[in-house]
Amino acid sequence: MKTLVLIDSDALTRALIAQCLAGQEWRVLEAEDGQAGLDLIAQHKPAAVLCDLRTPKRNGFQVCRWIREQPSLQPTRVILTTVSRFANDRETAFAAGADDYLVKPIAPPDLIRSMADCRDNGAATVAEPEAEVVVSGPTLVRFWGVRGSIPSPGPDTSIHGGNTSCVEIRVGNQIIIMDAGSGIRKLGQSLMKEVSTTGLNVLILVTHTHWDHIQGFPFFIPAYHPKVNVRILGYEGAVHGLRGALFEQMQTAFFPVGLNQMATHLTFEELTDMQFNLGVVKVRTMFANHPGICLGYRLSTPSGDIVYMPDHEAYERCEVERQKAERLASPDGLAYAKIQDEKVVEFLRGADLIIADSQYDAIEYPSRRGWGHTCADDTVQLAMRAGAKRLALFHHDPDHTDEKIAAMVERGQNEVAQSGGKLIVTAAREGDEITL
């Protein structure tokens, strides 16, 4: 005889379930709150636990998580029950480790099936993306979000825009989106006009999962459309995997719609190689100097190369300021920093367009050293040393007004003019388009 621990504060529900299982070779132990249920579970190590989500003392999610943390209870089947139909609760239940989720009133056949079923984690079925036909053509770059850290709308930022990082790159009919900051919301609205009967393929390359690079994703409408294939590529973050980070920000505590409620044509690919191809585009990547795991991408398209490196702190100035602040002199430390910058220059070498971190000016930088962002003077210097054609200052500080950004661009242009360089320095602005 197998043991079931039944946790429900409603005596009538407990009686109905016990009656339903009578004659099914189950011994039913009842508890009216979560803590009493856990005591029974610890004592009897049951084959199954049936627990309502809203139980006093310990709720159903907590009971489920506790069971999943106990090695001796790994075979125990956990079924959460509820009176509510919020899809997000269902998702949270499976994320907590539930094997099944039944909405009340529970039909006896469903209960019997669930008790007999083998383990099923309830993960959404992911459809295979449709094969993509790549048509080559000119490369178009469009800025939808150019700001760093947090959206900063308002009259002081209306020229450059207040949305966080999102850049659309089109190579023929291929759509590659760099990051999913708040700018992706409007891009999504624009893409919806292109969803024909044959659908649309969209690719999102994520540099890292800091919030300003993923916060717009829940508002990316194409991801909810059944005819849109969304491939999301990025590297595993410091704490969570790529999918985990996007899943977390859509949990009940933060957002009303869960990730699994988006369209099924949504795939996540955690990258491991530093070079790969996306259709006709060759991609090279480089680890950025930024907290956690963050990458810069170099896209080689048939009509030119684009480097997208939104979050990166140049090494040399960082080391110089560190030594100043700590009152030390380390020639080795400085030499090492210069070598690291040189690697970045190689990564940028000869690019047609560089979209790069320039969050601070030289006066601000010392007090923000170690925050993972570059002084615009250094961004200009690195791009010049790399012999790049054009630089778009990017990841503007949320406190920088349009006036301030214009002054930073002018300073960069003067720097180039004084050294006789040819680099074109601009600031990325929402709505701007560049064709290569």
Instruction: List interacting residues with Zn ion (CB under 5 A).
Output: 148, 210, 212, 311
Rounded least distance, CB 235 to Zn ion, Å = 13
Using the minimum distance from each CB to Zn ion, give the nearer residue, 53 or 307: 307
CA–CA gap between residue 372 and residue 289 (Å, rounded): 6
Using the minimum distance from each CB to Zn ion, give the nearer residue, 13 or 215: 215
Distances (CA, A) of 14 to 7, 38, 205, 208, 357: 8, 16, 50, 48, 60
In the numeric block, which tokens belong to residue 208? 């890292």
Rounded least distance, CB 212 to Zn ion, Å = 4
Pure H helices in 134-293? 184-192, 242-248
Using the minimum distance from each CB to Zn ion, give the nearer residue, 60 or 148: 148
- Give the single-character DSSP code of 399: T
228-234 and 200-205 strand pairing: parallel
CA–CA gap between residue 156 and residue 401 (Å, rounded): 5
CA–CA gap between residue 175 and residue 188 (Å, rounded): 12
CA–CA gap between residue 267 and residue 289 (Å, rounded): 28
Rounded least distance, CB 84 to Zn ion, Å = 37
Distances (CA, A) of 414 to 316, 381, 426: 21, 12, 12
How would DSSP label each residue in 270-328? E---SEEEETTEEEEEEE-SSSSS-EEEEEEETTEEEEEE-S---HHHHHHHHHHHTT-
Using the minimum distance from each CB to Zn ion, give the nearer residue, 100 or 311: 311
Using the minimum distance from each CB to Zn ion, give the nearer residue, 237 or 412: 237
State the number of CA atoms in the 13 A half-sphere of 197 facing the CB: 0
Residue 389's H or E segment, with its range, is none
Rounded least distance, CB 263 to Zn ion, Å = 27
Rounded least distance, CB 12 to Zn ion, Å = 53
Rounded least distance, CB 294 to Zn ion, Å = 6
**Burial group, residue 275, by CB count within 10 angstroms (0-12, 13-18, 19+):** exposed
Using the minimum distance from each CB to Zn ion, give the nearer residue, 241 or 291: 291
Phi-psi label, residue 229: left if phi above 0, alpha if psi -120 to 50, beta otherwise: beta
Using the minimum distance from each CB to Zn ion, give the nearer residue, 78 or 354: 354
Rounded least distance, CB 275 to Zn ion, Å = 23
Rounded least distance, CB 357 to Zn ion, Å = 8
Amino acid letter, residue 45: K
Distances (CA, A) of 341 to 313, 379, 422: 10, 11, 21
Rounded least distance, CB 392 to Zn ion, Å = 15
CB atoms within 10 A of CB 411: 15
Rounded least distance, CB 310 to Zn ion, Å = 6
**CA-only gyration radius of the chain, Å:** 27
Q: Name the residue with the smallest CB distance to Zn ion.
A: 210
Reading across the β-sheet that carries 304-309, which strands appear in turn?
Answer: 275-278, 281-287, 295-301, 304-309, 353-357, 390-394, 424-427
Using the minimum distance from each CB to Zn ion, give the nearer residue, 234 or 279: 234
Using the minimum distance from each CB to Zn ion, give the nearer residue, 148 or 172: 148
Using the minimum distance from each CB to Zn ion, give the nearer residue, 63 or 344: 344
- Which among 148, 138, 186 has a CA at the least distance from the CA of 393? 148
Rounded least distance, CB 251 to Zn ion, Å = 21
Q: Note whether 415 and 381 are within 8 A (CB).
A: yes
Using the minimum distance from each CB to Zn ion, give the nearer residue, 225 or 373: 373
Rounded least distance, CB 216 to Zn ion, Å = 12
Using the minimum distance from each CB to Zn ion, give the nearer residue, 102 or 375: 375
